[in-house]
Amino acid sequence: MGKGKRAIQSYKSTEFIEQARDAEGLVLGQNPFKAAPSTSSSLLSCETVCEQQPIKANTEKKGGQQTVSETASPTPAPSSSEEKEKGSSELEAVPSFILVSTYLSFLLLLVIAHMRDFFGKLFYPENYVQLREQNGYAPMVSDFESLWSRRLYGRIRDCFNRPITGVAGGRVHLLDRVSHDFNNTFEFTGRVREVLNLASYNYLGFAQSHGPCADKVEQAIRENGLTHGSTRAEAGCSRLLAETEEMVARFVGTEAALIVSMGYATNALNIPALVSKGCLIISDELNHSSLVSGARLSGATIRVFGHNNAHSLERELRRCISQGQPRTHRPWKKILVVVEGLYSMEGETCCLPELIDLRRKYGFYLFVDEAHSIGALGKRGRGVCDHFGVDPREVDVLMGTFTKSFGAAGGYIAGNRALIDYMRLHSHSAVYSEAMSVPVLAQVSSSMRMIMGEDREHALEGQQRLDQLAINSRYFARRLREMGFMTLGDPGSPVVPLLLFSLGKIPAFSRECLRRNIAVVVVSYPATSIITGRVRFCISASHTREELDYALEQVSEIGDLLMLKFHKNTTTAAGENTKKLQ
């Protein structure tokens, strides 16, 4: 597609805030992409106004018809306490038979696994040599850990680590494989199937091998090569890297930013540079593994508070501040509260306004991981601060990754300039790890410019992707609830978890989806609690309405087959609501 055609195509988009929408964010009575601004520059001017005065639509009734008028006032964010109560009430509504049978099935699997190991060690001891002490050396893995991998995970190993080829966009090419020894080994059949991708983090659809971002990447490679082959502390600090870091700082609303070449290392290697022995880290109990690794590497004392519960955090703060450090009871050097902006396993946003109030009250430092929220939440895609209307300067450390919404790799740490200058000298990610490669930097900068509206040729395309993601996410989650499924997450989250509960239904759901050419991610214990096994749908702006409707139709059939619809009273109104949506 030539530049002229792409400019015409991007011109035909529109802004999410200009449409009349219902409580779920779906367009009322018209095509969501029918109207368009008069000129491409009008979006840029509107964006400048929106930064100072957020838009909210007010509805009025005139002559029996509903009209929409726009006024400049902040958009109210949902109360996190209300959302938490809603989620807990939904779990309480699950029939007791489902919960009891889930525990019993888990217990039965463990009993059978132990019986097989008992007789296996008795009659086939050569197969269990790795679990016994050898030449004075302890076994590499514990008995139960090996039991879990062999007897439980091995049963459903075909549901994970499925190889793909090509770009993981809205659709993906899956390499078919088969196992003849109960999932111990796999063989490729040579067949490649195209499946609908509801498993990849590609929120804004920038994972593409063609288009304006791919063109910018190709141009950057021709001008700068592939990599600098050095750390940024030596010869890896290029002009492209400095410009991208400055752009990231402007995008998230901070003074400066530091780019790291690996997303996991952004947390694991930078948290130890912020806190050390004598400091206190208070972490959400459902934080990502990278945050846990960084906290453990720091040497600081770690405390945990209830998931997304500001009252639990305040109780822990009061207790830790009053008691001080262990044994010496001296005051803490620093207190760092670590949360995620959007929890990828639950689809929930953090209670940021309440955290800001506690920060002002107790004077701790706040670290927000926006790996899944940056680019996916907020009218301008600026993350959880944009979502709640909070000044980013109220958060001490903003962390994010480029793998979810930008179609790239790596991550960033953003904050005030003094903090970032300190991190450039003391963080292991800046001193010892390699600088981000040129193609990845070009992908990050081109996609971010498009979201910010700074790419004149594609000024509207970034906002169009944000709009489409919001529409798709709300539509998919709403339809699942109407069908009677029990889902988690907040409205507008691109991650939509659907509870499966029973351990036997988890692999069955994944295999049934694959048989219908749909790729999904299923999650079970120990990643979740025993009774909250789930399938996690990842919605993208690249998904069309026809693809989502097909997925919903197939998921509904699977739900009837596996008896997953726990809220059947809502299915009667599904048809009427669908007509209203159309």
Give the DSSP letter string of 19-88: S-B-TTS-BSSS-TTS---SSTHHHHHHHHHHHHS-EEEEEEEETTEEEEEEEE-PPPPPPHHHHHHHHH
Give residue 385's pLDDT: 95
Residue 306 has pLDDT above 50, yes or no: yes
Specify the amino acid at residue 454. Answer: E
Model confidence at 72, in pLDDT bands (50, 70, 90)?
very low
Eight-class DSSP state of 487? B
* Distance, CA of 16 to CA of 50 (rounded, Å): 12
307 close to 285: Cβ distance less than 8 angstroms:
yes
Closest CA to 93 of 499, 503, 529: 499
Closest CA to 461 of 15, 1, 3: 15
Q: Cis link prior to 526 (omega < 30° from 0)?
A: yes
As a whole number, the mean pLDDT across the chain is 83
Residue 94 has pLDDT above 90, yes or no: no
Eight-class DSSP state of 101? H
Calculate mean pLDDT across residues 379-387. 93
* Distance, CA of 462 to CA of 507 (rounded, Å): 37
Calculate mean pLDDT across residues 485-507. 92
Lowest model confidence (mean pLDDT) among 305-309, 435-439, 517-521, 568-572 = 568-572
Calculate mean pLDDT across residues 43-65. 37
**Beta bridge partner(s), residue 301:** 280
347 close to 497: Cβ distance less than 8 angstroms:
yes
Give residue 139's pLDDT: 86
518 close to 195: Cβ distance less than 8 angstroms:
yes
Residue 23 has pLDDT above 60, yes or no: no
The three-class DSSP label of residue 336 is: strand
Eight-class DSSP state of 521? E
Of 579 and 441, the structure prediction assigns the larger pLDDT to: 441
The two three-digit tokens of residue 515, written as one number? 């048989």
Whole-angstrom CA distances from 176 to 140, 189, 281, 428, 519 are 33, 6, 45, 40, 12
* Distance, CA of 87 to CA of 79 (rounded, Å): 13
Model confidence at 314, in pLDDT bands (50, 70, 90)?
very high
Model confidence at 499, in pLDDT bands (50, 70, 90)?
very high
Calculate mean pLDDT across residues 266-285. 95
Give residue 316's pLDDT: 96
* Distance, CA of 164 to CA of 174 (rounded, Å): 4
- How many C-beta atoms surround the C-beta of residue 393 within 10 A? 13
* Torsion 441-447-452-454 (CA) sign: positive
Give residue 22's pLDDT: 55
Give residue 70's pLDDT: 37
Closest CA to 282 of 343, 354, 332: 332
Calculate mean pLDDT across residues 286-309. 95
Closest CA to 558 of 495, 510, 504: 510
Question: Which tens digit of pLDDT belongs to each residue from 235-262?
Answer: 888 899 999 999 999 999 999 999 999 9
Residues in the chain: 582
Calculate mean pLDDT across residues 62-77. 38
Residue 304 has pLDDT above 80, yes or no: yes
Closest CA to 355 of 374, 336, 331, 376: 336
Residue 573 has pLDDT above 60, yes or no: no
* Distance, CA of 558 to CA of 485 (rounded, Å): 11
Helix axes 352-362, 80-92, angle to 10 degrees: 120
Question: Which tens digit of pLDDT belongs to each residue from 440-473?
Answer: 999 999 999 999 988 888 888 999 999 999 999 9
Residue 288 has pLDDT above 70, yes or no: yes
- In the block, tokens 């139960």 appear at 144
Parallel, antiparallel or unpaired: strands 256-260 and 518-519: unpaired
Model confidence at 91, in pLDDT bands (50, 70, 90)?
low
Model confidence at 92, in pLDDT bands (50, 70, 90)?
low
* Distance, CA of 56 to CA of 163 (rounded, Å): 45
The residues, any chain, with a CB within 8 Å of residue 194's CB and separated by 6 or more, are 171, 172, 173, 174, 517
Residue 520 has pLDDT above 70, yes or no: yes
Model confidence at 41, in pLDDT bands (50, 70, 90)?
very low
Give residue 11's pLDDT: 33
Model confidence at 569, in pLDDT bands (50, 70, 90)?
low
Closest CA to 424 of 298, 257, 295: 257
Parallel, antiparallel or unpaired: strands 342-343 and 365-369: unpaired
How far from chain centre, in Å, is Cα 335? 26
Parallel, antiparallel or unpaired: strands 397-401 and 365-369: parallel
Give residue 228's pLDDT: 84
Residue 518 has pLDDT above 70, yes or no: yes
